[in-house]
Amino acid sequence: MNPNEAQSPDGNETDWDPRGEDVQRNQIRAYDHMRGTCPVAHSDYLGWSLFRHADVLQVVTDHHGFSNVVSWHPSVPNGMDPPEHTGYRRLIERYFTQQRVDAFEPVCRQIAGELVGSLKASSTWEVMSSLAEPYAVRVQCGFLGWPEGLHGPLRQWVRKNREATLARDTEAMASIALEFDAYIRAQLDARKFAGDGAPEDITTDLMRQTIGVERLEYADIVSILRNWTVGELGTIAACVGIIVHFLARNQEVQSHLRQDRTRLPLAIEEILRLNGPLISNRRTATKAVVMGDRQIEAGDRVTVIWASGNRDPAVFEDADQYRPDRDQSPNLLYGAGIHVCPGAGLARMQLRVMIDELLNGIAQFTLTPGREPVHAIFPAGGLASLEIRTDGAPPATAGVSD
């Protein structure tokens, strides 16, 4: 991770290896180190990586100087710039209104309650496979109106996609992407065949939408649903794992939240600031710019490291300390600028409901001795595996809820 004089094929110095063993052993600690020693760093794998909050914010709020078009694969609207991005963004925002979020909350609570209830027969649980991942799949399918029969295939798809990404197997990644698109197209075909009998859900509604005077094409709908679902499955599962891990390690915080659930929203925001579920995003520089003391040229790849920017002591006092009452407005958990996550309100509700149900249904829990959590490997954040245990009976009464 120390800067060196090696040269990459484009002539830039290679400052670090994002896939190196020292980085993957603990990504958060490694990014803290890079932010302090080489905050604008180059690598073959990520291009320019930015670790400081100010640099990250500069890039993601300057859509003229840094483009979101980073791949030849269409990505609606994530991989678009204005003015093309504007119409699609306006279209999808209607699906994430507070009214829709509130209406979906009882469904999320039922799913979370069922999953937590299934844990009660045992004193130890593997959090990611038994709670976090199934919750992410079930709430996403519920939100989009997809059938239960997709729960298993989508979880398998997530695992295959993660393995192919880690192996940098581009052929497998392309095949896996087509497999996911086939799931979506099957849902669209079923609704088209049903005609007026199609279910009144978000997926059906997307098929009726237009951009200007043109009806959305299948490819656009597939891309929108792919972006929603792939992002949701990975980040919601990672968030649940990160939060449960933090509460298992910090018994006093867990106890306080059990007594006062109104503190859950700020606690969750702060826990996820400390350990980001979404590590990075890509941009392409459209003009030459100097960041730090490094020259970035037009056409260069730029990677913003959210998980580092959110721990920058220049912005967050005692940045590595849990302080839930701090000002969360600089928190980059859901991004910033025109590409800020449109589903942030939905995600916040889903996480609050899951942790609320967990605290309702499971007694005080701790990490299982001798079973160390396994950190996820870039590009994933959070944990790959996490085991917790409890020796007590479920709480007799819930804490004060909001």
* Residue 299 covered by a domain: yes
Quote the distance between the C-alpha of residue 218 and its chain's center.
25
DSSP state of 80: -
Total domains in the fold of the chain: 1
Torsion of CA 202, 203, 209, 211, to 10 degrees: 110
pLDDT at 155: 87
Q: Which of 402, 401, 374 is nearest to 26 (CA)?
A: 374
**In the predicted model, is pLDDT for residue 7 greater than 70?**
no
Query: Domain with 182 in it: what CATH number?
Result: 1.10.630.10
pLDDT in tens, 161-218: 877 777 777 788 788 888 888 999 999 999 999 999 999 999 999 999 999 888 999 9
* Residue 179 covered by a domain: yes
Pick 6 or 212 by higher pLDDT: 212
Instruction: Give, rounded to a whole angstrom, the gap between the first and last alpha carbons of the chain.
Output: 45
**In the predicted model, is pLDDT for residue 45 greater than 50?**
yes
Task: For residues 211 and 66, give the distance between their C-alpha atoms in angstroms, rounded to a whole number.
Answer: 25
Do residues 160 and 125 lie in contact, with contact meaning Cβ atoms separated by under 8 Å?
no
pLDDT at 178: 86
* Residue 16 covered by a domain: no
Instruction: Using a pLDDT cut of 70, give the percent of the chain over it.
Output: 94
- Segments forming the whole domain that contains residue 43: 21-389
* Residue 52 covered by a domain: yes
* Residue 399 covered by a domain: no
Pick 162 or 239 by higher pLDDT: 239
- Report the SS3 class of residue 285: strand
* Residue 41 covered by a domain: yes
Q: Give the residue-averaged pLDDT of 376-380.
A: 87
pLDDT at 231: 80
What pTM value is reported for the model?
Answer: 0.93
Phi-psi region of 162 (alpha: psi -120 to 50; beta: other; left: phi over 0): alpha
| Sheet architecture: strand order including 47-50 | 40-43, 47-50, 301-305, 280-285, 66-67
pLDDT at 3: 39
Instruction: Return mean pLDDT, the chain.
Output: 91
Pick 157 or 382 by higher pLDDT: 382
pLDDT at 196: 93
* Residue 4 covered by a domain: no
pLDDT at 401: 47
Q: Give the residue-averaged pLDDT of 268-274.
A: 98
* Residue 400 covered by a domain: no
**In the predicted model, is pLDDT for residue 332 greater than 80?**
yes
Strands (E), 8-119: 40-43, 47-50, 66-67
**In the predicted model, is pLDDT for residue 11 greater than 80?**
no
Q: What is the DSSP string of 272-321?
A: HHHS-SB-EEEEEESS-EEETTEEEPTT-EEEEEHHHHTT-TTTSTTTTS
